[in-house]
Structure 1
Amino acid sequence: MTATRDNALEASIRNACKVLRLPTIGSRSKALAAEAVSAQQTHLSYLWALLEAELEDRGERRQRRRVHEARFPRLKTIDTFRFEDAPHIPAATIYELAGGGFIDRAERVILIGEPGTGKSHLAIALGIAACMQSRRVRFTTAASLVNELIESRDDHTLSKVVARYARYELIVLDELAYVPLNASEAELLFQVLDARAEVPATVITTNLPFSEWTSVFPEPRLCKAIV
């Protein structure tokens, strides 16, 4: 009789957790209850163990969702970057940036260097670090962003797309200035950056020093908007 009643209670708990969207509590309540009995824990300790497990799993699910939504072309981390092969890159500074302080301060990070020097690796790594902090991030190349903006302009959804980019806590903009932009393309890119005036946290990679950006951007105000 007791076993039958316990089975019924377990089923009720799982159903209730499903309705309440507490999947971890539903799946681990029995195992954690056994641990609580074995360790002679109080009811409050058992309750906290349930809530802690749910919080941890929910946080991990949120992190995975943030990484998926960011649309990184590949996964890179700072720990896998070979700083010994790039002594000109200050590891301490990169790890400090990974803490996310520059996002809180609404700053822009610009990584300048020749192709193959690890700019994209570090940019993605900083984006993933932000995702691990549950921040909303979006990765895109400059060319892809401009193409998306052109398409949205043509189908009359430009304002919607610009507003969406304005809501991201961090944008990773790869390969800026890789190819020249005409006046129309530069204006579209400016609209996104201008819309993010209050949340300008952006990681940018480029192979051109800032002094040469005017050869790529026809509008000097775009250069100012980026930095």
Structure 2
Amino acid sequence: MSPATKLAPPAPSAVTALSDPAAEAAIHAACRLLALPTIRTEAVAMAEASAKQRLSHKAFLAEILTAECDERDARRQIRRVKEARFPRTKRLTDFNADALPDLPPGTLAHLAGGAWIDKGEPLVLLGDSGTGKTHLLIALGTAAAEQGRRVRYVTTAALVNELVEAADDKQLSRVVGRYARLDLLCLDEVGYVRLDPRGAELLFQIITAREERASIACASNAPFSEWGATFTDPRLAAAVVDRLTFNAHIIQTGTRSYRLNTTRGKRRTTKT
């Protein structure tokens, strides 16, 4: 098509003068149709505030669209966290990093940023019971979910049971595929229970499906040298350790109970 025959841009739509009640009714109807609940709720109040501040039409439009986007982000964060199925709420701000004196400064803040998840790197939390492993696992998983990532928290025993049931129902490939698509799998209580050979092999399928592609964050109260008791087959245990430690972030939470120390600190504060 030559420049001379190009179609002219459409003429601006005519602006219809509406009364305030008619304008409000039109806004509500349009917002329902376009699924803009925040604008539908806040439009009138924001319009009045904008008029008082003498904002331009463009500035008002920017303000109200930003409000809708912010509210959608907040709802998305809530949905992602809910989908992750965390057993309780834990935040990094509630964790006393001084309890881990050997942890380099800034490590937790760096992990909370999620770059390691984008790279598909593993995270392993090792330490005795009560030392904060699950707190960190949930807190970092929550941060990832709030950033819009697909996250799922599950204990090792629950995951193995789910895989066994799926295999019995001939749905294993579907379940493995669902776990493979997660951005972050938070696997808690690795090493707490002894797995039979079938359960260990099914769990290995999940780990292999995510290897160097999508992150697994796991927490265990057993050192790597004792994982053979969980996976029964020494070769399988070695393969699991190899996959979960390659390019991994490994945090030792130690032997001193973070939970017990926190409880004692609260009691001392109450007494004083």
- Return the TM-score normalized by structure 1: 0.93
Q: Distance in 1 between matches of 2:39 and 2:90?
A: 32
Q: Which residue of 2 aligns with 1:224?
A: 242
Q: Distance in 1 between matches of 2:202 and 2:23?
A: 59
8 Å Cα contact 1:17/1:23 also seen in 2: yes
Q: Which residue of 2 aligns with 1:140?
A: 154
Secondary structure of the residue aligned to 2:217 is: strand
Unaligned runs of 5+ residues in structure 2 are 1-17, 246-272
Give the counterpart of 1:175 among 174, 177, 189: 189
Q: Distance in 2 between matches of 1:73 and 1:96?
A: 24
Whether 1:35 aligns to 2:21 is no
Q: Which residue of 2 aligns with 1:210?
A: 224
Q: CA deviation at 1:90?
A: 4.3
State which drifts further: 47-56 or 217-226. 217-226
State which drifts further: 176-185 or 125-134. 176-185
Give the counterpart of 2:170 among 143, 150, 156: 156
Read off the aligned partner of 1:154 and give its amino acid letter. D
Secondary structure of the residue aligned to 2:227 is: helix
Q: Distance in 2 between matches of 1:9 and 1:59?
A: 28
Q: CA deviation at 1:116?
A: 0.5
Give the counterpart of 1:25 among 36, 39, 43: 39
Q: CA deviation at 1:175?
A: 0.6
Aligned length: 224
Secondary structure of the residue aligned to 2:49 is: helix
State which drifts further: 176-185 or 48-57. 176-185
8 Å Cα contact 1:138/1:170 also seen in 2: yes
Secondary structure of the residue aligned to 1:216 is: helix
Whether 1:195 aligns to 2:213 is no
Q: CA deviation at 1:198?
A: 5.0
8 Å Cα contact 2:124/2:244 also seen in 1: no
Give the counterpart of 1:101 among 115, 129, 133: 115
What does the per-residue CA deviation read over 1:187-207, in whole Å, with 9 as the maximum and x for residues that have no partner? Answer: 101111122235331111001
Q: CA deviation at 1:91?
A: 5.2
Whether 1:130 aligns to 2:144 is yes
Q: CA deviation at 1:89?
A: 4.1
Read off the aligned partner of 1:102 and give its amino acid letter. W
Larger Rg: 2
- Among the aligned pairs, what percent are the same residue? 46
8 Å Cα contact 1:138/1:171 also seen in 2: yes
Q: Distance in 1 between matches of 2:210 and 2:32?
A: 38
What does the per-residue CA deviation read over 1:175-194, in whole Å, with 9 as the maximum and x for residues that have no partner? Answer: 11111222111110111112
State which drifts further: 6-15 or 60-69. 6-15
8 Å Cα contact 1:193/1:200 also seen in 2: no
What does the per-residue CA deviation read over 1:116-163, in whole Å, with 9 as the maximum and x for residues that have no partner? Answer: 000000000000110121111000001110011111111111111111
Secondary structure of the residue aligned to 1:205 is: strand
Secondary structure of the residue aligned to 2:129 is: coil
Q: CA deviation at 1:76?
A: 0.2
8 Å Cα contact 2:184/2:216 also seen in 1: yes
Read off the aligned partner of 2:214 and give its amino acid letter. P
- Return the TM-score normalized by structure 2: 0.78
Unaligned runs of 5+ residues in structure 1 are none
Secondary structure of the residue aligned to 2:106 is: helix
8 Å Cα contact 1:86/1:117 also seen in 2: no
